[in-house]
Amino acid sequence: MKKVFFLLASGLVIGTGLLLALWIYSEQGMKSVEKQYSDFSDHDQYYVLISQDRSDLWSTVYESAAACAKEHNAVLDWIGLDAPVGYSVEDCMRIAASSGASGIILHQETPDDLTDLINEAARKEIPVITVLNDDSDSERISFVGVNNYQMGEICGRQVIDSLHEGKNEIMVLNGEGEDDGSFGLMYTQMLQVVDSGKTPDQEVVFQTQKLNTQTSFDTEEGIRDIFLRVGALPDVIVCLNPIVTECVAQALVDYNQVGGVTVIGYHDSDTILDAVSKGLIKATLSIDAEEIGELCVEALDEYWTLGRVSDYFNVGISMITQDDIPETEKEGDPSEEEGDRGSGVTG
Amino acid sequence: MSSNDQTITRRHVPWKNSIQTKLAGVIALMMVLILAVNLFISSRTSSMVEKIDSVFASNVSIAELTQTLNSLEGYVYEYLNTKSSAALENYYRYAEEYRQLAEGLNDKNVDNPALMLEKNIRHMSMDYLEKTEKTVQAKRGRNVERYKAFYEEGALLCGYINAYIYELNNLLFAQNSENYQLLLNVLRFMEVFSIVVIILIVLFSMFVLIMMIRTMTAPLTALSEAARQVTEGDLNVAVPVVNTRDEMGIVTRAFNQMLASIRAYIERVRESMQDQSRMKERELSMEANLKEAQLKFLQAQINPHFLFNSLNAGAQLAVLEDADATSVFLERMADFFRYNVKKMNSDSTLQEEIELVDNYIYILNVRFAGDITYRKDIEEGTGGISVPGMILQPLVENAVTHGIRDMLDQGSISLTAVMEEGELRVTVKDNGVGMTREQIARIMEGMPSEEEDSGSTGIGLINVINRLRLFYDQEGLLSIYSEGTGCGTEVTMHLPVRPEKAVEDSAQMQE
C-alpha cells in the first residue's frame, strides 16, 4: 500500500505540475495580449516631426530624434508617415497644432508660405523649429541647419578636383522646395572657391536647375530629360538633394555615362555610398543626420526647460569619397547586397 | 490468538480498515481528481474564449467613434443647411455623445503608437467640437462668413480625425489580429495539452487502481497457493505476513496460526507414538529380561554340573550296591539333564532328540510304573537331520502332561518321523483327552496355557513354535490336530530339510 500511496502522491505532484504549466502558459498568453495595452511609459512632452522627405536622411533624423526624445522624457511622432492619405505640410501643421503637440520640428521643401501656420502654432504656445530650410520671418524659436558657406566651400573644392583643361560645364541640381537664401549662400561660396582654385587653362561655366522633388516620380523624369538632351550633358553635376543624387547615379548607368560625368552627391544613404564605392559618384556631401535629430529635440527641451533657446544650431558636414569607404563595404557584404536589392544602384 | 485479533474476528473489521473502504476511497479520489482536472481545463478554456471574444472590442469601439463623428458632422451640415431645430437637437445630442466617447480615449504622452493616435484623435476631437460649437453659434448669430470659415476648419479637422481613426483602426486591427492568432494558438495548444493531460490522468488512475488491486489480491494469491500446497501435504509452507488490519491481514494471520497449530498437533501425536513405542519396547525387554532372569534363577537354583556329578555318583553307588536298575535310572537322569542344558541354545540332530525323548519316557515310566506306552517309527536316514534343540521332548511332555496324564496305563504316545515332499515330518500322537478347537487356536496364536504345570520342564509348546519360526524363518512349521475332547491329539512338525545337509548329517551320524 505504501507503494500505491507513493505512486498516488507522485502522480498528484506531476499532475499538479502539468496543470500549473498549463495555467502559466495560458496566463502568459493572455497577459502578453494585455501587455500590449499596458506596457508603456508616460512622457512629459509630445513632439512632432513634419517632413515630406521620406529619404534615408530623414529616416535617420527621425530615429535619432526619437531616441533623443525618449532620453528627454518626450515622445516624437512623424506626422503623416503611416497615414493612409498624403498630408501636405499645411495639413501636418494643422494636425500638429490641433493634436496638442508640445513642439514641432519642421522641414519645409516646398516654397509654400508656412509663416502663418508657424505663427498660429506659436500663438498656441507650440514652439516650432525649422530644419535645413529656415523661415526667419516666422515666429519659429530656432533653426537647425548646415553652414551654407562651409558647404559651398567643400563642394567647390570637389569641383576643382574634377576640372580638366578647357571648358568645364558645372550643373548644380537643387530641389524646388529648397530655401533660396540658403542655396544662394552656398552657391556663391562654391563659385568663389572654384574661381580661385581653377587653373588659367580651365574655363568653368556654372548652371543651376531646380527639379520638382515634391510630386511623385518627377525628379527622375527631370534627370532623364537632362541626360537625353543631346550635347547638353555637363562635365560635373553637383546634387544638393538625396533623391536627386540617387537618380543621377542610376541615370549614369542607364544612359551609359559612367566616367563621362563627375557627380558630387548629397547625403550618405546606402545607395549613394554604394555608388561612391563603385566610382559612379566622386564624392558625396554627408550631413550628420543623427546630429540634426538630436539638436532639434535638445533645442525643444532647452526651450521648455529654460524658456529660451539659441536661434541657430549648426550641423556638421563632410565630404565622403571612395577612399573613405572601408574595403568590406566596397566589395559588398553578400547579405547586405541581397537585402538592399531595392536600394542599390542597379546596372 | 491475541485478544485484539479475537475482537476483530468476533466483530466486523472497522470501516476504515476494510478493503471495501480502501477501494471505494481510491476510486472516489480518482473520480474527484479527473473531475477537478476537467473543471480546471474547462475554466481555462472558457477564460481564453472570453479573451478571444474581447480582442476586437477596440475595433468595435473605434467604429462607434467614427459613426458618431460622421453623424455629428452630418447634423452640423444639416443645421447649417436647414437651420432646423431637429438638426440642432441631434447636433447637441451627438456632440455630447461624441465628447464622451472622445474623453474615453488616451490623453497621455506614451510610447505606444495606438495610444498616441488615440491622444491625437482626442485632442483633435476636442478642437473639432469647439469649432462646431463656434460654427453653430455663428450660424445662430447669422454671421455667414464666420460660420462658413469655422465649418471649413471643422470639416478639415473632421477629415483629419477620420483619417486618424482609420489609421488607428488599421493599427488596432493588425494588433488584434496578431493577438487573436496568438490567443488562438494558445487555445489550440491548450486543447491538445488538455487532451494529453486527461488521457495521462485516466491512464494513471487506471494504473494506480490496478496497482492497488494487485496489492490487495497478492496476499490472496499467496494464500491460495499456500492452501494448494497444504492440500498436497506440505504443512511447512508459510504465507508472507501481511501487516494490514483489513480482511486480508486477518485471514492471512489466521491461516498461519492454523498451520502452526496443525504442525504442533502432529508433532505432539508423533511424540506420543514414539513414547508408546518406547514403552512397549521396554515392556518387551523387561519381559525378556524377566524370563531370562527366571531362567537364570532356575539355573542358579540347580547347578548343572553338581547335578550331573551327583547323579553319576548316585549311579556309581547304585552299581556298588548292585542296584542296576537304579544305576541305569540315574544315568539316564544325568543324560537327560545334561542334554537339557547343552541343547538349550544350539542345534541338535533328530537322533539326539529321539534319545532324549527315550530318556524322558524311561524316567516317567519309572515314576509311573510303566503306565506310558511309547512307540516310535523313525525312517532310516532321518536321524542325522539337523533340527533345533529341545523341540521334541516338549511335545512329548505336552502329550504326557495334558493328554494321557489321567489315563493310568491306557495312555500311549507314538512318535513318527518320515521324509515327505522334501521336509521332515515328526509327529507326536497320543490317545489322551484331546484338544478343542479353541485350545488349538489359542496355542497357535501364541497365547500361553491357562494351566501352570509345576512338573513341566518349563519349555512350552509356544516356545517350540517360536524357536521353530526363528530357526527356519518360516511360519506354519507346527500343526495340532485333534478330533475333539477324548479323541487324542496329534502334533506334527514340518521341518524343512536341505538334502546335502541331510546327507552330511547322516554320514556324520554313521561315523
- The answer to whether the beta carbons of residues B136 and B76 sit under 8 Å apart is yes
What integer pLDDT is reported at residue B1 of this predicted model? 46
User: In sequence order, what are the beta bridge partners of A48?
Assistant: A77, A104
Q: Is the ipTM of this complex over 0.85?
A: no
Residue B499: band (very low, low, confident or very high) from pLDDT cuts 50, 70, 90: low
- Helices A289-306 and A56-71: crossing angle, nearest 10°? 40
- The answer to whether the beta carbons of residues A315 and A291 sit under 8 Å apart is yes
B163, B185, B215 ranked by CB distance to A84: nearest: B163
User: In sequence order, what are the beta bridge partners of A175?
Assistant: A211
What integer pLDDT is reported at residue A11 of this predicted model? 81
Instruction: Kindly state the helix (H) or strand (E) to which residue B461 belongs, with its residue range.
Output: helix B461-472
Q: How far is CA B241 from the centre of its chain?
A: 13
Name the CA dihedral angle for B57, B61, B63, B69, rounded to a multiple of 10 degrees.
Answer: 180
The Cα A190–Cα A170 span in angstroms is: 11
User: In sequence order, what are the beta bridge partners of B396?
Assistant: none
- Of A69 and B327, more confident: A69
- The answer to whether the beta carbons of residues B362 and B413 sit under 8 Å apart is no
Q: Each residue of B423-475: pLDDT tens digit?
A: 999 999 999 888 888 888 888 887 665 554 444 444 578 888 888 888 888 88
Neighboring chain B residues of A3 at a CB cutoff of 8 Å: 211, 215
What integer pLDDT is reported at residue A62 of this predicted model? 95
Cell of B24: 471505494
Per-residue exposure over B42-52, b if at least 16 CB sit within 10 Å of its own CB, e if not: eebeeebeebb
Count CB atoms within 10 A of the CB of residue B162.
Answer: 18
Q: How far is CA A71 from the centre of its chain?
A: 21
SS3 label, residue A71 = helix
Which one of B125, B160, B180 makes the best mutation probe of the A interface by having the most chain A beta carbons within 10 Å? Answer: B160
Q: Each residue of A29-67: pLDDT tens digit?
A: 888 877 666 667 888 899 999 998 887 888 999 999 999
Residue B344: band (very low, low, confident or very high) from pLDDT cuts 50, 70, 90: low
Q: Each residue of B485-497: pLDDT tens digit?
A: 888 999 999 999 8
For B457, residues 6+ apart whose C-beta sits below 8 A from its C-beta are: B340, B393, B394, B397
| Cα of A9 to nearest chain B Cα, Å | 11
SS3 label, residue B389 = coil
HSE of B101 in the Cβ direction (CA atoms, 13 Å)? 23
Across A32-36, A126-130, B210-214, B228-232, least confident range: A32-36
HSE of B341 in the Cβ direction (CA atoms, 13 Å)? 16
- Helices B144-231 and B19-55: crossing angle, nearest 10°? 160
The Cα B370–Cα B368 span in angstroms is: 6
A43, A44, A98 ranked by CB distance to B123: nearest: A98
| Cα of B176 to nearest chain A Cα, Å | 9
- Of A162 and B300, more confident: A162
What integer pLDDT is reported at residue B352 of this predicted model? 92
Q: Each residue of A212-258: pLDDT tens digit?
A: 766 657 788 888 888 887 666 889 999 988 888 988 999 889 888 88
The Cα A55–Cα A272 span in angstroms is: 11
Residue B348: band (very low, low, confident or very high) from pLDDT cuts 50, 70, 90: confident
Q: Each residue of B45-83: pLDDT tens digit?
A: 898 888 888 888 888 888 999 999 999 999 999 999 888
Q: Any idea which residue has 529660451 for its cell?
A: A308
Q: Each residue of A167-225: pLDDT tens digit?
A: 999 999 887 655 566 778 888 999 999 999 989 999 999 988 888 766 657 788 888 88
Which one of B59, B111, B170 makes the best mutation probe of the A interface by having the most chain A beta carbons within 10 Å? Answer: B111
Q: Where are the beta strands (DSSP E) in A220-329?
A: 236-239, 262-266, 283-287, 312-315, 317-321
Q: What is the mean pLDDT of residues B301-324?
A: 81
The Cα A100–Cα B107 span in angstroms is: 10
Q: Which residue of A has its CA nearest to B177?
A: A33
User: In sequence order, what are the beta bridge partners of A318?
Assistant: A286
